[in-house]
Amino acid sequence: MQHAQVPMLGFAAFSGTGKTTLLTQIIPILKRYGLQIGLIKHSHHNFQIDQPGKDSFRLRAAGATPVMLVSTHRRAIITEITPVQEPRLDDQLKLFDQSGLDLILVEGFKMEQFPKIELHRPSLNKPLLYPNDPTIIAIASDEVLEAPSRLTKLDINQPEMIADFILKQFMGRP
């Protein structure tokens, strides 16, 4: 990823595996160690960050792009992607403020080439991703899996274990 200015680690899995749930558990653990965490999430849905009837929605619908919505607590920049196309992670990194971050976690973008932890639940009957993705560095599952020795095996139900892997093995922190 040409535009990554800090370490970036993805969480790749099929829908329903629990990527978001796991990330909401891991992020506070990493923050306790003083890390500033950014996150980029890929959505396959045509999401709306603003709602019909709100000023920002009306202004965007009138043709303004980008639209920046700002309050005392947060900022959102809404940009239309035209023509409609699948986003590329590196293009998004160009627009992502990485200043002050220690780590960017990425949910999704499983077909892109950057370091990832695969999440896998055999009960979902989905194929493993690592055989076709050499950038997967670890696999977290709720069952013991046969996997190559190059992959660190993690327990998907142990967020402390996964955070420890990120800190020590991925980021090289003591």
pLDDT tens by residue, 21-80: 999 999 999 999 999 999 999 987 667 778 888 888 899 899 899 998 999 999 888 888
Locate all alpha helices (DSSP H) within the chain, ordered by sequence.
19-32, 55-61, 89-95, 159-164
Residue 132: what pLDDT? 96
Residue 24 CA: distances (Å) to CA of 28, 67, 69, 74, 101: 7, 28, 25, 19, 17
Residue 152: what pLDDT? 97
CB 163 within 8 A of CB 30: yes
Residue 45: what pLDDT? 65
Question: DSSP characters for 65-97?
Answer: -SEEEE-SS-EEEE---SS--PPPHHHHHHHS-
Q: Which two tokens stand for residue 32?
A: 């306790």
CA–CA distance, 9 with 113 (Å, rounded to integer): 11
Chosen CATH of 8-42+87-170 out of 3.40.50.300, 3.20.20.140, 1.10.1740.10, 3.30.365.10: 3.40.50.300
Rg (CA), the chain: 18
pLDDT over 90 at 4, yes or no: yes
**Whole-prediction pTM:** 0.91
Domain span(s) for CATH 3.40.50.300 in the chain? 8-42+87-170
Question: DSSP characters for 11-29?
Answer: EE--TTS-HHHHHHHHHHH
CB 36 within 8 A of CB 170: no
16 pLDDT tier (thresholds 50, 70, 90)? very high
CB 142 within 8 A of CB 157: yes
